[in-house]
């Protein structure tokens, strides 16, 4: 018997998006995501929210919960410094103040991060683990549509301005080998679409990628939490019995033709 972990509902592919800074262009970007059923993560600087005189302006605190409903809100530090150049006490204050502020606005527990200016090092990664950050996105692209091997150094597939964005999208959409779990992860800044006058790039991408039955559309933290839950499954020695100690369901594929849902707190005969 062959047992494979799947994404929810037996899917083998997932798509996630990650956009930084929370600037006013997120209004248009979120509307595009929502229209096509795309879900993503928005990395905000609490210390810049409601600050006057910024160009372009940031999303107001009073608008955050409504705008980002159905999407993840994550940290991006309090004031967007290049943190690898900062004392570690300053780095700790930047991430904790951002977490606390965003949690106060949203009523959520904020556990994700994108490194501002792509700046990080091993010491910062260890600090963030200690301070409750479950994952952190870097800017260097991954070589394949792979899940992160180190969640605190999560490499995306590409920036939305990558010249081969649609080539990657087409390969991913047509990929049929379900023995692999594949993830496409696109990142950027929404204001770049205004700067480059190329909103068609993200509109075309979302129109092409949205609405597919074999893709799980997820936020960054949902992927991290799901894969953590999958790793905590407990199997009998012959893999014919599985116990799920988690609160959430995990899906398994059995012998390539049967998909089962292992609900949280249950033990199943396979």
HEC secondary structure over 219-248: CHHHHHHHHHHHHCCEECCCCCEEECCCCC
Residue 257: pLDDT band with limits 50, 70, 90: confident
Which one is predicted more confidently, 178 or 41? Answer: 41
Which residue shows structure tokens 């990929």? 175
Domain residue ranges in the chain: 13-219
Average pLDDT value for residue range 220-230: 98
pLDDT digits (tens, 9 = 90+) for 52-102: 999 999 999 999 999 999 999 999 999 999 999 999 999 999 999 999 999
**Across 116-233, where does the E strand assignment appear?**
158-159, 182-188, 215-217
In 3D space, the residue among 13, 65, 28 whose CA is nearest the CA of residue 44 turns out to be 65
pLDDT digits (tens, 9 = 90+) for 136-186: 999 999 988 999 999 999 999 999 999 999 999 999 999 998 889 999 999
Greatest pairwise CA separation for the chain in angstroms: 64
Average pLDDT value for residue range 22-29: 98
Q: Which pLDDT belongs to residue 250?
A: 98
Q: Which pLDDT belongs to residue 143?
A: 81
pLDDT over threshold 90, residue 109? yes
Mean pLDDT of the chain: 97
- Burial letters 232-266, b for 16+ CB under 10 A, else e: ebeeeeeeeebebebeebbbbbeeeeeebebeeee
The answer to whether 187 and 156 are in contact (CB under 8 A) is yes
Average pLDDT value for residue range 180-195: 97
Q: Is the peptide bond before 93 cis (omega within 30 degrees of 0)?
A: no
How big is the chain, counted in residues?
270
CATH number of 13-219: 3.20.20.370
Q: Which pLDDT belongs to residue 179?
A: 86
In 3D space, the residue among 215, 201, 216, 211 whose CA is nearest the CA of residue 164 turns out to be 201
Average pLDDT value for residue range 226-237: 98
The answer to whether 164 and 158 are in contact (CB under 8 A) is yes
**Rounded percentage of the chain residues whose pLDDT exceeds 70:** 100
**Rounded percentage of the chain residues whose pLDDT exceeds 90:** 97
């Amino acid at each position: 018997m062959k047992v494979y972990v799947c994404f929810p509902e037996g899917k083998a592919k997932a798509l996630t998006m990650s956009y930084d800074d929370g600037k006013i262009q997120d209004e248009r970007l979120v509307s595009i995501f929502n229209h096509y059923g795309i879900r993503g993560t928005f990395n905000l600087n609490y210390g810049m929210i409601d600050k006057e005189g910024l160009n372009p302006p940031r999303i107001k605190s009073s608008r955050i919960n409504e705008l980002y409903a159905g999407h993840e809100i994550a940290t991006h530090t309090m004031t967007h410094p290049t943190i690898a150049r900062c004392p570690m006490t300053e780095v700790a204050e930047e991430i904790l103040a951002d977490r606390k502020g965003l949690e106060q606005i949203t009523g959520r527990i904020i556990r994700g991060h994108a490194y501002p200016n792509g700046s990080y090092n091993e010491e910062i990664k260890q600090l963030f683990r200690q301070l409750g950050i479950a994952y952190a996105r870097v800017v260097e692209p991954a070589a394949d549509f792979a899940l992160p091997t180190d969640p605190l150094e999560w490499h995306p597939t590409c920036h939305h301005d990558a010249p081969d964005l649609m080539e990657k999208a087409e390969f991913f959409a047509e990929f049929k080998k379900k023995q692999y779990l594949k993830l496409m992860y696109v990142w950027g800044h929404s204001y770049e679409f205004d700067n480059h006058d190329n909103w068609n790039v993200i509109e075309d991408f979302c129109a092409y990628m949205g609405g597919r039955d074999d893709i799980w559309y997820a936020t960054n933290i949902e992927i991290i939490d799901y894969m953590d839950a999958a790793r905590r499954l407990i199997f009998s020695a012959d893999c014919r019995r599985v116990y799920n100690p988690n609160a959430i369901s995990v899906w398994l594929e059995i012998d390539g033709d049967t998909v089962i849902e292992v609900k949280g707190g249950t033990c199943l005969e396979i």
